[in-house]
Amino acid sequence: MPDTISLALIAGFVLDLLLGDPRWLPHPVRLIGRLANWAEPRCRRITANESVAGALFTMVVVAVAAGSVWTVIWGLQQLHPVLAALGMFYFVYAGLAVSDLAGEATAVWQLLRGGDIGPARRQLSRIVGRDTEHLKEPEIVRATVETVAESTVDGILAPMFFAAVAGAPGLWAYKAINTLDSMVGHHEAPYTRFGWAAARLDDVANFVPARLGLILFGLGTWLIGGEPSRCWRVGWRDGGKHPSPNSGIAEAAMAGALGVRLGGMNTYDGVKNVRPYLGDPLQPLESSCITEAVRVMYATSAAGLAVCLVWRWIVS
């Protein structure tokens, strides 16, 4: 008989595939964002040392996020165990981004297929941090594929991993860390020192999922009839070239899975940034690469779910 966490992983994954992220439904990530906006000025007032203030800020937001989820599930448990299970199902479902990631990427592909490069650039800007106003089609494709690769880890595999280890509270501790990294984990002012703790904690939290992800990307590639050996080889060879200790592994694995070359020149707020090349240019960066990347993402996510369920079976 599967335990509650295993059932929550299955139910959350299926619900995400079926429902995605309805805009009308309040999402816990938005609540974390509001909490962060409330906590930041208060933590800055406690100490003039920005690194200490940022560490305190990070600990408070992560603890409140995980503690709130635990409290809700505990309260539901006092009413009825079935309600607690349903609560866990919801929190796991809300923490996964399979359908949403596929939808955002597919929207870019549809616009490119229709020749609407301007709208494709605007759609892309919803999911990437780089400047998109002047990107040509190959660069739009590259940006989309890189985002799908990176988000496969931090939007799907890592949340499932933390849920498998520590249930819904563990998943939402991770989601809070990842949200704070996107909000304040920047090198630029005013977060150069304040965001250091969030950025480093995100690196630590993603260390194991990213490396497990390299294995899972290969399994996902195999599931859709691709070349897992090339995926693993390129991921191992090029994953360490990226400035991020984790993102490069996912992007290199995806590059190997598709037989394309990722990396190159990106522009952020008008400032050019050269990223190392990942993968080999066996195939051109065409719009069809986006749909192939989404296929790899789906298959990799399914492989990740299977591994998490096996883990739960071993420990329960």
Nearest alpha-carbon partner for 187 in 176, 178, 169, 200: 200
Q: Which residues contact 237 (CB under 8 A, 6 or more apart)?
A: 252
273: enclosing H helix or E strand: strand 271-279
Rounded distance between C-alpha atoms, residue 5 and residue 10, angstroms: 9
Q: Are strands 271-279 and 261-268 parallel, antiparallel or unpaired?
A: antiparallel
Give residue 215's pLDDT. Answer: 97
Residue-range domain boundaries for the chain: 4-315
Give residue 1's pLDDT. Answer: 54
Nearest alpha-carbon partner for 251 in 153, 138, 128: 153
Q: What is the pTM of this model?
A: 0.94
Which segments of the chain have a pLDDT < 50?
none
Q: What is the DSSP string of 164-198?
A: HHHHHHHHHHHHHHHHHHHHH--SSTTSTTTTHHH
**Residue 275, SS3?**
strand
